[in-house]
Structure formats: C-alpha cells, structure tokens
Amino acid sequence: MTGPAARVIADSVSSDGVRLTTIEATIHRFVLAELNTHRLFSRNSASSRAVPVAKQIARVMADPAIPVEFGGKRGGMQAGPALEGNARVAAEGAWLRARDDAVAGAQRLLDLGVHKQVANRLLEPFMWHTVIVSATDWDGFWFQRCSPLAQPEIRLAAEAMRAAMQQSAPRSCEPGEWHLPYVDGEDRAAIADPALLRKVSAARCGRVSYLNHDGQRDLDDDLRLYERFVTAQPAHASPLEHVATPAGAATVVAGNFRHWTQLRHLVLAS
C-alpha cells in the first residue's frame, strides 16, 4: 500500500435526518489505539489472533507499514521537521531492519510451537490493519484526527475516511428498515428473510469482509459465524452494533448511536 485508505460500506439516513455511516479503513496498525479512543464509534478489526503467523510474516515482508514520515526528535508530543534525503533513507532502513528482527522472532516462536495470538504481536508495528467503523457522530474525530497536531499516520487515515464519507450519498432508511453493512443485491436475492440478512451483515462486520477466512463468499458460513457470536459465553456482541434500524425521535440515544437502535441491544435484551 502507498498509505491509509477508506471506503464507505453502508450509508443510511433516518427520516429524522440522523445519518449512520459505516466505513472500512486500512490504517497503520501502530495507530489503532488512537482510533479506539473515540467512544462514539462501533468498530471491529481484523484480528492478529485469527491469521496464521506464516501469512502475517509474508504480508509484512511484501508490504510493510512504514511511517509516513520520520519526524525529528524534540520535546513534547509533536515531532520536529521530518527527516529528508539521506537521513530519511537511513531512518527507513532502520525501520525495515527492525521489521526483519521482528519477523525472525515471530518465526522462532512459531518454530517453538507458540500460538499465533502471541507470535503475531511482534509483527504488529509493521502491519497494515483493516477496521470497520460505524457512527452517527463523526465531528469530534474529524476535529482531533484531521488536525495538523495529530500523528501523520492517523491524520491521513482520518482524512481518507472523511473524504470517503463526503463522496457518499446516504440512502433513506425508514423505521423497520435496516442499515446492513456488507449486504448487497446478490445477498438480498439469495435470502428473502430480513432477519437472516441481519445475521449475515453482523457476521461479516465481525470478520471485516464479505469473504470468510478461506477467501470464499459463503452465506451458510456467515450464519454459522453469527451463531457462534451470540452463543459464546460471554457473547461476542460487538459486530451486532453496526447493524441498526431507526429508533424514532422518542429514543434520543441507543447505545453509542443517536436515533438508531443497534441489533446488539435487541438480541441481548431478548
């Protein structure tokens, strides 16, 4: 990748004018914590625990996440002017040597029989990371993360997300209709039952993809994954937050969305 990227997955507006947008973004893994501080977001991420170590190693070797710039050292949270010329080349070389050391360490752990949930952690600073974010309120995120004071990697991600949202036109969603990320016309033609479509959408939000981990589009696999989410003890309910229906003016806040009721709250309350 050349840098962070974003696309709108679903975009809906209720009859009382509250817009709910779901964005899939690919960001530097090392700034994920800065995205996660925004509590009005519902979010799910590709998990380091789900991907085999060998596959992660191949990814960070072929396409490592490299800092946008190497700011000069100085006191405070904002870096000084970015290194240029030979200094920039040397800094990037040091970053990639650190990547190589992390790969060697992850491979050693793998050879020792250590699970991927541990071995993959060494690779995270060098990973691109895909996250799905749904929200009705974005202004605070734009204000903080599109700022020149933000770290360049999260700023570029936020700017890509804002541009994707600005270029998207939300569809009208009436009470009883649903905001369904990752559900398209092909899915609606295959499944007539709206309740099943909600389950498919939630499963794909949890996986952050139309496709399962074998690279296949499989509705039965989606439904099985949904059942695993809701029957787990405790339930893995966060993917159900992205699937929502207009709540009407009587409900000002439902979960972290305004004027929308999330599937999570309906399922866990039943």
Select from 9, 252, 15 the least CA-distant residue to 133: 9
How many C-beta atoms surround the C-beta of residue 74 within 10 A?
Answer: 9
pLDDT in the model for residue 50: 80
pLDDT in the model for residue 246: 93
pLDDT in the model for residue 218: 83
Question: In the numeric block, which tokens belong to residue 39?
Answer: 């509590």
- The predicted model scores a pTM of 0.92
Question: In the numeric block, which tokens belong to residue 36?
Answer: 């996660």
d(CA 166, CA 154): 18
> Can you list the alpha helix ranges (DSSP code H) found in the chain?
32-36, 53-62, 85-111, 116-119, 139-145, 152-166, 185-190, 194-207, 219-231, 263-269
Each residue's pLDDT expressed in tens, for the chain with a length of 270 residues: 678 999 999 999 998 899 999 999 999 999 999 999 999 999 999 788 888 999 999 999 999 999 999 999 988 888 889 899 999 999 999 999 999 999 999 999 999 999 999 999 999 999 999 999 999 999 999 999 999 999 999 999 999 999 999 999 999 999 899 999 999 998 899 898 999 999 999 999 998 875 555 566 788 899 999 999 998 888 888 999 999 999 865 555 567 898 899 999 888 766
How is residue 57 annotated by DSSP?
Answer: H
pLDDT in the model for residue 247: 87
- Summarised one tens digit per residue, pLDDT across range 205-223 is 998 875 555 566 788 899 9
| Domains recognised in the chain with CATH numbers | 21-166 (3.30.1360.170), 173-269 (no CATH)
d(CA 36, CA 151): 15
pLDDT in the model for residue 49: 82
HEC secondary structure over 135-195: ECCCHHHHHHHCCCCCCHHHHHHHHHHHHHHHCCCCEEECCCCCECCCCCHHHHHHCCCHH
- Summarised one tens digit per residue, pLDDT across range 155-169 is 999 999 999 999 999
Residue 26 backbone class (left: φ over 0; alpha: ψ -120 to 50; beta: rest): beta
Kind of pairing between the strands at 42-45 and 128-135:
antiparallel
d(CA 102, CA 60): 10
Q: Which residues of 112-146 are buried (b: 16+ CB within 10 A; e: fewer)?
A: eeeebeebbebbbbbbbbbbbbbbbebeebeebbb
